[in-house]
Amino acid sequence: MRVVIGEDQVLMREGLRLVLEGAGFTIEALAEDARDLVRRVIGLRPDLVIADIRMPPDLTDDGLRAVLELRGERPGLPVMVLSQHVQRRYAVELLRHDDRGVGYLLKERIADLETFIADLHRVLDGGTVLDPVVVAAMMDRPRPGDPLAGLTGRQREVLALMAEGRSNAAIAARLHVTEKSVVRHVSLVYNALGIDQSSEDHRRVLAVVRYLSR
Amino acid sequence: MGAVCVAGTEFALILHQGGQYAFISSFFPVLGLVYVTTGLVAWARRPSSRLGLLLVVAGGFALLAEVTAVDAPVPVAVGMIVGTVVLAVIVQLLLSFPTGRLHTTTERVVVLAAYFVSLPLQAPLYLFAAGNPLSLADRPDLADAGLQVQRIAGAIVILATAALLIGRMRRARPEQRRVLVPLSVYGIFALLVVPVSSALEHSVFEGDPVQRTILQLVSLGLVPIVFLIASSRGGFDRTSDLAELGVWLGSDEAGRPELRAALATTLGDPSVQVLFRVHGEEALVDDLGFPVALPAHANGRGTVDVELGGRAVGAITYDAMLVDRPEEIREAGRIVAIALDRQRLTVELRASRARIAATADGERRRIARDLHDGLQARLVLLAVQAAGRGDQATLRAGIQSAIEELRELVNGVMPAQLTERGLAAAVEDLRDRLPMPIELHVAGLEQRLRLDVESAAYFVLSEAISNALKHAGPAALTVSLERTGGQLVLAVADDGAGGARARAGSGIRGMADRVEALGGELYVDSVPGRGTRVRAVIPCAS
């Protein structure tokens, strides 16, 4: 699998290279700023883009804008966006039009090698990965007449894992319950949130995130 | 009237007694009368000046000196004691022209010395002379020694007076100088005439007291007339010395004394203090911006408020012993109000700069403490665990929580959203972290603002919101940010307890400083029981 990395910090860039090469990825290019990243990706057409949000030239959200621009050109281009901090707003922007092949994690998640590599593969396969911190921020957000208030603790856990992009099987494994009971919880959550039950398995993150972002 | 009667009686007595020099001596009461008359005229023309009063007093002493004519022990004694006091009064007149008030300590010392020379130092002359009611002994040697001492001391006083007058003439404006120079020169001349002519009686006047006396009478008699003329000329014809303040206001700022000194000199009270009423400070502050407790009236201090355009801008405190008429201070306050207000603005600016610097220092200290106490301690603990073969999972969890702590800290110092997306995004992010839902209105903020405006606005909003949550206990909180025209208008309104005040050290003061530093204004409307509304308007030309 061919990867282009956009990261301006040397330590982080080299760390990523080591991790990815160790896991069998091919590093096609290492870009140090957002413009270079866009250029490289357009030229090299990699299978996966990994990008830091804050990058030169503006050192604001340049990396995110580059990724959104690239996905505008190549819908479904798998991207993993990394940041020192996560923002609900950025998650919504990343998922706004298309939730296929999107990952958004805190940089420190790289330390958990196995999980990180697995997350990369899920993104490559068109899945969605959202950092638990983003999901928690969305769910804990204060709002008038909070409909989540009616959910049980277990239902909230299921909702959070759904938003992170986990499949029913993964949720069942994580919560040590049967997949059948997960399906039952998911259905109750959909009801509570008023989300269309017919959401396909991999479209449900979009539905949940859209709901949570209202 | 009384003076005329006294003078007439003396006149009659002197003539009645007769003698070789009766004719000449009879003019001494006339001299007193001239002083009293000119004094009364001067007093009538300028009631606020003490010049007239001083002239009347001088006349009184001149008349008193001549009661010796009564030729009874008591009047003779009194006459001898006050014989030369009129010279001291002339010193006082010269130094206090045109107001009749002394303004500096040096002037007061010189005048006191003059009275010392003419009263106590006069004593040996009659105590050790024969043939008078106060005579203790007939000791011509002691009397002579006393006379020498008095002459030397008198000469020193006259020199000091001359020096002070020269100083005044140099500082005076040209049109004042035209009056001050002849007045001072003549005054010194008149002061010198009496002792010098007496000392030279034998050599120059060949022992003939008639010429000498005529010279003394004429020189002294012209003094009050010269004063009367001078006080109506050369810019000294103002109604009061307060007019000097008007001149001070108009003079070149670089060369003039500062406000407090000018007031102290004009009012004749060196302890005068100027205080300012600055934004956000309940107490009056001094020129360094420090709050000052108003002195109690019982301490002999008086205070007069200074207003400008119906707004209290400051106060003047004064020594109630030295200044007996508060109306004069109030008038002085009215004259200098604009100058005081300007200095007030400087004080206010300096104070807010100092507060901003102190706030920044405080922030740095807090960050340093958080890093040191929190993160550093945590890392040390992790290092210890790593060295002691601690288990992997614990170690990783420790590192993870250290990272989280660092992230929180960085976000507290400068929120990531503010840097990356600007004000509106940062405030929305802030809203997401609050423990209760708030109503948020954002308008006209599609474009980024200047970084300093964004930071200040974010700081003000987060401070106002956290104040509301911490102190007011509101049921509802509304926050709005709107950019209209060249202004950013921020508002935070709650329905909580109210009664927030801009005390020193309170958050409101800090918010106002941030907003004012950008040329904006902060308004806090907080009535107890009726919620708090914080509104900030910051100019932000695109």
Which residues of chain A fall below pLDDT 50? Answer: none
Residue B421 with chain A: CB contacts under 8 Å: 60-61, 89
> Cβ contact (<8 Å) for B407 and A84?
yes
Q: Which amino acid is residue B47, in one-letter code?
A: P
pLDDT (tens digit, 9 = 90+) per residue, A137-156? 888 887 777 777 778 888 88
Q: Is the pLDDT of residue B44 over 60?
A: yes
Find, in chain B, the residue whose alpha carbon is nearest to that of A138.
B432
Nearest Cα of chain B lies from the Cα of A149 at a distance, in angstroms, of 14
Find, in chain A, the residue whose alpha carbon is nearest to that of B432.
A141
Between helices B243-250 and B326-369, what is the axis angle to 10°? 50
Q: Which amino acid is residue B512, in one-letter code?
A: A
Q: Which of B217, B210, B157, B209 is nearest to B193 (CA)?
A: B217
> Cβ contact (<8 Å) for B432 and A141?
yes
Residue A87 near chain B (CB below 8 Å): yes
Residue A108 near chain B (CB below 8 Å): yes
pTM (2 decimals)? 0.62
Find, in chain B, the residue whose alpha carbon is nearest to that of A60.
B420
Residue with the bigger pLDDT between B478 and A211: it is B478
> Cβ contact (<8 Å) for B429 and A89?
yes
Cα B414–chain centre separation: 45
Nearest Cα of chain B lies from the Cα of A142 at a distance, in angstroms, of 5
Residue B436 with chain A: CB contacts under 8 Å: 142
> Cβ contact (<8 Å) for A85 and B396?
no
Asked if residues A160 and A139 have their Cβ atoms less than 8 Å apart, the reply is yes
Q: Is the pLDDT of residue B240 over 60?
A: no
pLDDT-derived band at B489 (thresholds 50, 70, 90) equals very high
Nearest Cα of chain B lies from the Cα of A178 at a distance, in angstroms, of 27
pLDDT-derived band at B301 (thresholds 50, 70, 90) equals confident
Average pLDDT over chain B, rounded to an integer:
83
Nearest Cα of chain A lies from the Cα of B421 at a distance, in angstroms, of 7
Nearest Cα of chain B lies from the Cα of A141 at a distance, in angstroms, of 5
Q: What is the DSSP letter of B101?
A: -
pLDDT-derived band at B241 (thresholds 50, 70, 90) equals low
Q: Among residues of chain B, what percentage have pLDDT more than 70?
A: 87
pLDDT (tens digit, 9 = 90+) per residue, B202-234? 666 666 777 777 888 888 888 888 888 887 665
Asked if residues A42 and A70 have their Cβ atoms less than 8 Å apart, the reply is yes
- Measured from the Cβ of residue B55, the count of other Cβ atoms closer than 10 Å reads 29
pLDDT (tens digit, 9 = 90+) per residue, B143-178? 888 888 888 888 899 899 989 888 888 877 676 777
In the prediction, which pLDDT does B238 show? 47
DSSP string, B387-427: HTT--HHHHHHHHHHHHHHHHHHHHHHS-HHHHHH-HHHHH
Find, in chain B, the residue whose alpha carbon is nearest to that of A109.
B400
Task: Give Cβ neighbours of residue B130 (< 8 Å, ≥ 6 apart).
Answer: B138
* DSSP collapsed to 3 states, B462-486: HHHHHHHHHHHCCCCEEEEEEEECC
Residue A57 near chain B (CB below 8 Å): no
Q: Which residues of B touch A (CB under 8 A)?
A: 396, 399-400, 403, 407, 410-411, 416-417, 419-421, 425, 428-429, 432, 434-438
ipTM of the complex: 0.84
**Rounded to 5°, angle at Cα B343 from B342 and B345:** 65
Q: How far apart, in Å, are the Cα atoms of B339 and each of B274, B344, B346, B359? A: 11, 8, 11, 30
Alpha carbon distance A209, A212 (integer Å): 5
> Cβ contact (<8 Å) for B411 and A85?
yes
| A&B contacts, CB < 8 Å | 42
In the prediction, which pLDDT does A21 show? 95
Residue A111 near chain B (CB below 8 Å): yes
